[in-house]
Each structure stands twice: as C-alpha cells, then as structure tokens.
Chains A and B, each alone.
Chain A
Amino acid sequence: MYGIGILKTFGVTVGRFVTTFADDLKWFLKGGFGKRYSPEALPERQSPRGRGVFTVQYPNEKLIVPENYRSFPFQVIDPETGKTRCTACGICAKACPPQCIWIVRAMDPETGKAKREPAEFFIDVSICMSCGFCVEVCPFDAIKMDHDYEIATYGRDAGEFVWDLERLSKPLAHHAAIHPTQYAAEKAEQEQKAAQKKARQ
C-alpha cells in the first residue's frame, strides 16, 4: 500500500526518539541526574554500544584522546640534564613534508666546534601538517606529538605561529603521561641496551 514506506521511515525516527529517553532513564537508574554526562559514562556513550544522544557537551566534556593522537610536535626535556634530548642532527627537518622545522646548531665558544645540541629550534605551526614524520624518524626520541588541541590564538604574526625551543619544550613526565605504552617500550629498550653494555664490559 502506498505510504507504508513513509510510515516505516517514521518508525525509525520514532524509535530513535524513544531510545534517547530510554538511555537517559538507564543512566538515571544507575546514578541519578547528571550520571549520563559524568566522566564514567563518556567512554560507554562514545563506544559502539552508545545509544541515544551521541553529542559531547564541549567544553564541559571533552572527547577521550587516544594515545596515538597527534596535534603538534614538542621537544622532550630530560629531567637528568634539564636539556632537550635533541642533538641538532636535522633528520626531522629533512623529512618534514612542508619544511616547517628550522634548526640552528649550537657552537662551543671556546673550541669553535659544533656541539650536539640545538641553539635554536623553530617549528612554524601555521604550516605544520601534523603528519608525525619528525617523530618517526627521530633516532633520539627527542620529538613527540602532543595531545593539546586548544591552541587557537588571537594574532597571526610570526611570533604566534613560529614556536621556538622554549615554547616547544615539555618535560619527559608529560611524554610519559600522554604516551604510557610508548614510554614503557622506550624505557624497556633503553634498559636492555644498558644491560647489554654492562655485559660487554
């Protein structure tokens, strides 16, 4: 009969409408008002099991960022030396597709020789495409991708978008906190290397 299809379509939308309230009720029975928008409920709501209203109440709620997420690079500061792990080798600057990394190697004022550390390190984040190649090619684990995505600014001068070493530096603890699996793997590898070195001596 003509019109059955339209009724079926309405059936789907009405079903969704009912599900929304059913889901609200489910969370209400679990923990009262506001439970649905609590941090414990968010992972379930955003998973394939999620029903009802799918949206996230940003900025009151924020999506859970996975470990691999990449926004912009940062330099890892080693707590032992208080300096960056970067040796100014320039591999990342070569691999960078939009060529947004600029490194100036530090010079030893006494001997006049190049040191294995950067004097200046710039990333132009206005042309950085967040591809993560710099992290992949870095042999010293000195550069990592950050999770911070709230970095909009009011100006558009070079000062706002060309980040220098100071702006890029973040402590090792930050890396360990946002990349727990990766950090554990790096640490295990380092310890293994140290043990091998000891065994050889």
Chain B
Amino acid sequence: MAEEILISQPTTEALSTLEQHFPGAAQPAEYEGIVIAPGHLGKVASFLRDQLGYDYLSLVTGVDYPEATAQFPARFETTYHLFRSKGGGPLVLHVHANRDDPVVPSVVGVWPGASVHERETWDLMGIRFEGHPDLRRILLWEGYEGHPLRKDWHEVYYEEEKKPFSSRHPEGRPVQAEERAPLGCNLRYPPDWSPDSWEPQAEMRVYAPMDEHVGDNGRSMPTDQVVINFGPQHPSTHGVLRMVARLDGETIQQLEPVLGYLHRCHEKIGERNTWLANMPFTDRLDYVCSMSNNFGYAVAVEKLMGVEVPERAEYIRVIMAELTRIMNHFVSIGFFTNDIGVYLTFMLYALEERELIIDLFEMASGSRMMCNYFRFGGVARDLPEGWLSVAKELVYERIPRRVEEFEKLCLENEVFRARTIGVSALPADVAVAYGCTGPLLRACGVPYDVRRAEPYSIYDEFDWDVAVGHNGDIYDRFKVRLEEMRQSLRILRQALERLPDGPIQSKKVQATAKVPAGEAYGRVEAPKGELGFYVVSDGTANPYRYRIRTPSFANLGVLGKISRGHLVADVVAILASIDITLGEVDR
C-alpha cells in the first residue's frame, strides 16, 4: 500500500517517511524534490535504496547558485535523480554545499554508478565528493584551469554571458573565431601547474600496480605484465576513446577508459544559448540518432513550459524516434561485425538500410544527420508529399526482411556465437547498481525501458513488448537489439496506420521565448539507453542549468568491470556491444 502511494506521489510521501526515520534531515526543495542535510546523505541513501526500492541512480549533477535565491542562501547544489528499476517517477534529492569549499559526501558506496557522474561534477563544477575512491577529472585534463560550469568562470574567448550577443563584430568588420583566440593563446594553466613536470594520472593509476606483479603470476615461468593503449586513434574504439589496459599475457587485468578527447563543453554552450537555440546543438550529441536527442530535449523543456503537443505531432515524433532506433541498431550490429573481424561486408549491408532511413529524415527535416526537427510543442514542418508511401514501403516490405537476414547473419553463425556467448556476462543487480540502461541492461533480464517505466509522449497507446535477454552477455545484447527492431516495426506499423490529420505545432515558440522558472528532468529511451535532460530555468530566455545524462557515458562506467579477465580481442567486442557514440560520451 505504502509503495503504491509512493509511486503516485514520490516526493511528498518520501518526505514524510524520511521525517519519521531521520528527523531534521529532510526539507522540501525550492522547485522539486527534497533537500537532504549533507551529514545524513549516506544513511538516507542506503535507506532509500534498501527500504523504498530506489535502486537505480540516473543522474548526479551540480548547480551553482552564486546569489541567494528566495528560499536558500548562495550555494552549490548537488542533485540526485533516483528511480526504481521496477518503474515509476523520479525522486529528486538535493544536497547543499557552501560556495567557498564545496564538499558533499559521496554515494558511490550505495550506487556504484554514481562514480562517473560525481567525477564529472567535480571536473566541471568543482564540488568535492568525500569518500569517492577515485576523484579525478574525467572530461578535462589536469592542466585545465578552473571548473567551467561555475557561473563565475569565463572561457578565454569569452564574449558575453548570454545570447543573443549584442554584437559579434565590435570592430565593425567580420572577425573569425580563430582571430579572437589564436593558437597558443587560447589556454590557461592552473597557477601551480607546469606541462613539463606533469604526470598523466590515468596512466599512473594503471601503471602503478605493475611493479607489484613483476615475476609473480603464480605460474612456473615468471613474467611481467604490460600496459597497452587502445586509441584514441583506433578504428575499433568508435571514435576518440582511449582505453589503458594492463595485461597478463593476453588477459585483461585492469582497464581504464580515458575520456574527453571530443569534449566541447556542450553544457556551457547550452547555458549561453537561448532555449530554442539548443535544439540544433542536441543533434551533435549522439550524431547517429539526432531525432532521439531532439525528443529528449523537447520533452524536458515542454515540462517546464507546460505546452501541449498536438496529436499529429506526437505521432510524427514517435515515428521518427522508432525509425532512429532501427537505424541505430543496424549501425550498431553492422559495426560490431566489423569489429569482430568480418570487416566491411555486413557493415555495408547495414549502412544501406540506414541510408534509406536517413533519406526519409532528409525529406522531412532537410538534413540527413543533424535533423533539428523537433520544436517545443510539435515538430518543425509537416511530412512532405510522398513521405508516407516511402516510409510504409520500408516498414512493411524492406526492413522486416533485412532484420531477418541479420538474424541469420549473426545469431545462427557459429563464429559469431563463439565470439559472443558467455563473454562479459553482466549480472542484473550489478547492471542496475552501475546505472546501465538500454539494451545493455535489458540483456541482463531487467525489463527496464523508459517508454514503459515512465511513459512519455504517446507510447502508452501502442501495443508492443519490452525486449529482454537472460544472460547479459554480448550475444544477448544483440539478440535484444534485433528484437527491439522488431518491436519498433510493430510500433511503426500502428503509428503509420493511425497517423491523424491536424496541426503539427500547438503554438509558434519564439526564438527568444522565456521559460517559466523551475526545474525539470525529461528522459526518453534513446536507442542506446536512457537519455535525460535536466534543465533549470530562472525565468529568462536562457537555461540556467542544462545537463545531459547520456546513455553512452553512464554505460561506459561498467566497461572496466566487465572487461576484467577477458582477452584483448574481446575488449573490442565488449566495447562495440555497449554501443557508444563519442559525441555523446564527451559532450
């Protein structure tokens, strides 16, 4: 009974429950959720996980309030979004820290998945997490001065606080960005830091244990361990990811992903932009599935704005999102076969189908990859003439056959099975604790899909099943992907059949429209997992805080754990089976 109430009204009920068990620890937050006293956080976190079932931590982030707000003084605020892996809405926790020396207790002991998020918050916001086992910078390097997401931090080529800028050309002539920040003058080092005496920490962490293992492997022949670098320029890392691995023979003893080679501080750019201007920037996150990124951002901001989406627009959104899912899974499977040594044959088969789907996107939105198709309260433009017939031909005729073909290519092939079955099996409880989502989580047997767990848009109107695996190994991840393509086709058939007529946008939102003050966490099931947008508005035309929880980044947190004990060649397969896009990992 108590649990049912908690699902309907998580915040108020949790607040009173916490008041009973931890008097004085909790109070209501300014916009949404509960403020927890820092001293109580550890106990409250264990209580929430063990007693109330909040076993899945989606996001940890920080917000900087250099000025006092209506309810609270100037502060840093860490925000935690908790969910149940059974489904339901979020429970939002806030913890305040003072601005001079921000310290917050770490929750890595309760939710190990918090590790990457806490490291990122330390990196970009400068909030120290006490008790974190490995609190280093994650996206930026050690020679970077300051924490960029603080409100008082300015970039070297700083122009103005917010867009639209008063003038980009104050000298009266067009100036290019390179002239404004010439090479060599566009970086600052921390005061007590010098590039000459620098020792990269990621390497040191992996190199250090080597000495302990010299000549001691328990076998008759004493051997040394070696450290190898994968990437950042390596065809199998799907971009500029680097992995530092310590090997014993060919077996991985330790593996550490090194991120940030594609970091462009998307969130700082986003906080300078106007609300609508962020839409084309979200395309550049996961550049394989820009429609899903648009979807997540639109859902989050629509929560704040309170605008309705017309029915036709909702259908178009679902159609685009499901086509994106099919496309992404084709690409994912195609590149996986490339990675395990089939080379280009199957990948080109997959890219052929992707080509046809992005042709559809191009017809509707005008761009193949950077679609920029969604608007607040609808979509940018209506489907052009002839679009539906091509889409139907694809969905009814071509793609089902291709899915079947890929099943034949992969699931029955003995070589494929030998490379995948039983490799890097991930137990369900570990996957949930590490905050894994998407096919990676569902392959472990956890039927968690945001479209079902917390339905958004009109997904509750369609008849479809959540694809689930059993063993959590690479083979099951691909089985789940193939099944998901089938389910997406099922949704698409219903949506294309029932697509109603009507307007496609409820009301035209101005480019510099103001958004009511508040905070919202909009999440969608992107093809790679849960994609969340955490937005805070102070009532102006620009986001106050704009944070993205990307599935690739969160899923990478478990890479080191599931690679241990496997061969070097398997690491490539494991990485491909997680399915990452570096545009989204590094943001």
- The closest CB in chain B to the CB of A134 belongs to B511
B169 touches which of A67, A102, A126 (Cβ 8 Å): A102
- B220 contacts A by Cβ under 8 Å: no
A48 and B174 contact, CB distance less than 8 A: no
User: Which among A5-13, A27-35, A187-195 touches the partner chain?
Assistant: A5-13
- B163 contacts A by Cβ under 8 Å: yes
Least Cβ–Cβ distance between A11 and chain B, in angstroms: 8
B414 touches which of A5, A11, A95, A99 (Cβ 8 Å): A5
- B385 contacts A by Cβ under 8 Å: yes
B366 touches which of A69, A96, A124 (Cβ 8 Å): A69
B511 and A133 contact, CB distance less than 8 A: yes
Q: How far is the CA of A9 from the CA of B163 in the complex (A)?
A: 55
- A183 contacts B by Cβ under 8 Å: no
A132 touches which of B273, B274, B281, B366 (Cβ 8 Å): B366
A181 and B176 contact, CB distance less than 8 A: no
B511 and A137 contact, CB distance less than 8 A: yes
A130 and B174 contact, CB distance less than 8 A: no
- A94 contacts B by Cβ under 8 Å: yes
| Per-residue contact bits, chain A 45-65, to B (CB 8 Å; 1 contact, 0 not) | 011110000100000000000
- The closest CB in chain A to the CB of B363 belongs to A66
B417 and A5 contact, CB distance less than 8 A: yes
- A119 contacts B by Cβ under 8 Å: no
Q: How far is the CA of A149 from the CA of B384 in the complex (A)?
A: 22
Chain B residue numbers with a CB within 8 Å of A11 are: 408
- B364 contacts A by Cβ under 8 Å: yes
A8 and B281 contact, CB distance less than 8 A: no
Q: How far is the CA of A131 from the CA of B280 in the complex (A)?
A: 6
Chain A residue numbers with a CB within 8 Å of B278 are: 97
- B15 contacts A by Cβ under 8 Å: no
A6-B413, A47-B390, A68-B363 known; A132+B372 contact, CB < 8 A: yes
Least Cβ–Cβ distance between B512 and chain A, in angstroms: 6
A129 and B280 contact, CB distance less than 8 A: yes
User: Which among B40-48, B98-106, B393-401, B554-562 touches the partner chain?
Assistant: B393-401
Interface size class of B (residues with CB under 8 A): 35 or more
A94 touches which of B164, B174, B416 (Cβ 8 Å): B164
Chain A residue numbers with a CB within 8 Å of B416 are: 5
A46-B359, A94-B512 known; A129+B370 contact, CB < 8 A: yes
Contact residues of B between 281 and 304, Cβ < 8 Å to A: 281
Chain A residue numbers with a CB within 8 Å of B163 are: 97, 99
B174 touches which of A69, A102, A145 (Cβ 8 Å): A102
- B224 contacts A by Cβ under 8 Å: no
- A173 contacts B by Cβ under 8 Å: no
B365 touches which of A68, A136, A161, A181 (Cβ 8 Å): A68
Interface centre among A9, A137, A158, A161 (most CB of B within 10 A): A9
- The closest CB in chain B to the CB of A164 belongs to B174
B345 and A13 contact, CB distance less than 8 A: yes
- B355 contacts A by Cβ under 8 Å: yes
B362 and A95 contact, CB distance less than 8 A: no
A145 and B380 contact, CB distance less than 8 A: no
- A70 contacts B by Cβ under 8 Å: yes
B408 touches which of A9, A48, A70, A94 (Cβ 8 Å): A9
- A3 contacts B by Cβ under 8 Å: yes
- B381 contacts A by Cβ under 8 Å: yes
A158 touches which of B174, B277, B372 (Cβ 8 Å): B174
- A37 contacts B by Cβ under 8 Å: no
A and B contact pairs by CB, cutoff 8 A, 11 listed: A8-B412, A54-B352, A54-B355, A68-B362, A95-B276, A97-B281, A99-B164, A129-B280, A131-B280, A132-B366, A133-B277
A-B contacts besides A9-B413, A95-B276, A129-B281, 8 pairs, CB < 8 Å: A6-B415, A47-B356, A69-B362, A96-B164, A124-B176, A130-B367, A136-B380, A145-B366
